[in-house]
Each structure stands twice: as structure tokens, then as C-alpha cells.
Amino acid sequence: MSPTPKEIELEDSYLDIIKKASIGKGLGKKELAKLCREDMAEINVFFAGKRNDKMMEGISALLELDFKALQSHANLQVRPDPISLKGLAHFQSKFPISNEQYMWVNHYIIYDTTTKDAILFDTGTQANESIEWLNAHNLSLKAIFITHQHKDHIYCLNDFTERAPSAPIYNMGHEHLDGNFQELELDKIYTWGALSLKAFETPGHTPDGISYLIKGLNKPITIVGDTLFAHSQGGIASPDNYASALKINYTKLLSLDPKTIIAPGHGPLTSVGHEQHYNPFYAHKF
């Protein structure tokens, strides 16, 4: 039986989503106040957490967010259905962001139940549980794929390479990292037993962002790192990178079969179909 963490909170609040979009658009509170024709004091109150749906609607229009999806998210009206898939193991670990705060980060193992070949995606910040799980199920770790090099996603890389020193490590731009790194070929189909994998670039949150489409389980699954979250996405500071990432995510990820599972770096599993309807960054496009 594959482990799946119990109900996981959505990564971002409606304000987090608005803040990410405003940063991506290069619009501060002063610019938003001017464009919305709102008093600066009221804008400050809104960003301090006092909900105002009329203001939210106006800001959504400026930021090209889908207001209905954002409102639904703010109302906690909908969340992705629980997802459990044979051949997919989902692990979570804590990553401290201050002395008093932490966030949860995901890593995943996908495996062929017949051949016992296993593939690791990112490493999280605590490896004992997943290494013990690999050992308990007699799985052979054949490769490690990294979505991007933020510390919370590669923190335990050495723990896994000690467990499987011959397993190649794949990601983009690994010049300053040690290990058995191999060149990631974007036009290549990698296979292990019934599993197949194709990588494609999804930069934005980071320049080295990579997503991985895996087939061979009952449903296709895409490991996306911080490119997308359920109802949100990773933050992007540059307006040029933000605009490019929106286009890439729309054409490369959300154009996949709606049944495709999306496995993000933070928050719960979701699906392409769910995000087409409920992700405020993209719902207006569908």
C-alpha cells in the first residue's frame, strides 16, 4: 500500500494568490489603488486581510485572475478530490522558514509494481520515512529527478544517493552540485518496466524548472515542482518571466488530458481538469 498523506491544506490563501499575481504583473499597492480608483487606506486594509469581494473583483480584473475561481477558493467551496493511485507514493516533510514558522514540502516515488523499479522525484527535507518505505517494499531506486534546485526540494539528495549510489540524477543546471548527474534529454522517453517518462521545461518560478510526465500507471501523472499548485502556482518576481510562465503552463501542462494527475511541490495532489476550472490564474482561459 502506497503512503498518501492525510488531507493536505491548500498551499495559498486568496491573498497569497493576489499578491503573487500583483508581483508577477509588477503592480504594487499604490498602482493597484490608482488603477482601481480606491483609497490607499482601503487597499492597505484589504491586503492586511479584511476581505472585500467588490475590491477583490476589481483587483482580479486588473491582474487577469478569474474572479469566480478566486472567490470560490476564498470561500473554501471546493478543493481537489482525494487522489490515491497504485504505483504512486506521496511523502511530506517540514521545511523551516523562520524560528517559529515552517512549510510542508512534497516528494514522490513512482514505481512499477511488477519489476519493483522505483523513481524518486525531489527529496524533501526528511528522507528516513521514504527510504524505509523503499526498503520495506523491496523497491530498487533506479533514478532521481529534480524539478528545481530550491533547498527544500534537494535537501536530502545525499541521503538517497547513499541508498542508491548508482542511480543517475537528472535536472537542469546542476553545475554546482555533486553526484552522479546525467544530462537530461528533453526529447527522450525514459523507461523502467511499464513506466515511461518525458521531461519538459517549465521555467518561471526558477530558471531551471522542469516538469515530468509519467505514463504506465492507471492515470498519467505530471510532477511539476513549484510550477503549479492546487488553485495557485509558485511565485515569480519578474513580469517578463511571469508572462512567459503563464503561457508555458497553459500550453504545456493544462493542455494535457484532464484526467492527468498534477503532483506539486507543495499542497495536495490535483488534476488538470480541476485546475482548468478552479485555478484563478488559468480558469478564465477554459
Tens-digit pLDDT string for the chain (286 aa): 456 666 899 999 999 999 999 999 999 999 999 999 999 999 999 999 999 999 999 999 999 999 999 999 999 999 999 998 999 999 999 988 878 888 899 999 999 999 999 999 999 999 999 999 999 999 999 999 999 989 999 999 999 999 999 999 998 876 556 678 888 999 899 999 999 999 999 999 999 999 999 999 999 999 999 999 999 999 999 999 999 999 999 999 999 999 999 999 999 999 999 999 999 999 999 9
Strand positions, DSSP E, the chain: 88-96, 102-111, 117-121, 140-145, 169-170, 181-182, 190-192, 195-201, 210-215, 221-225, 261-264, 270-271
Spatial CA neighbour of 256 closest among 225, 281, 219, 284: 219
Residue type, position 13, single letter: S
pTM: 0.95
Specify the pairing of strand 210-215 against strand 195-201.
antiparallel
- 130-145: per-residue pLDDT in tens? 999 999 999 999 999 9
Residue with cell 493536505: 8
Question: Quick one: pLDDT at residue 179?
Answer: 73
Question: Quick one: pLDDT at residue 1?
Answer: 46
Question: Quick one: pLDDT at residue 187?
Answer: 86
Domains of the chain (ranges plus CATH)? 14-74 (1.10.260), 88-285 (3.60.15.10)
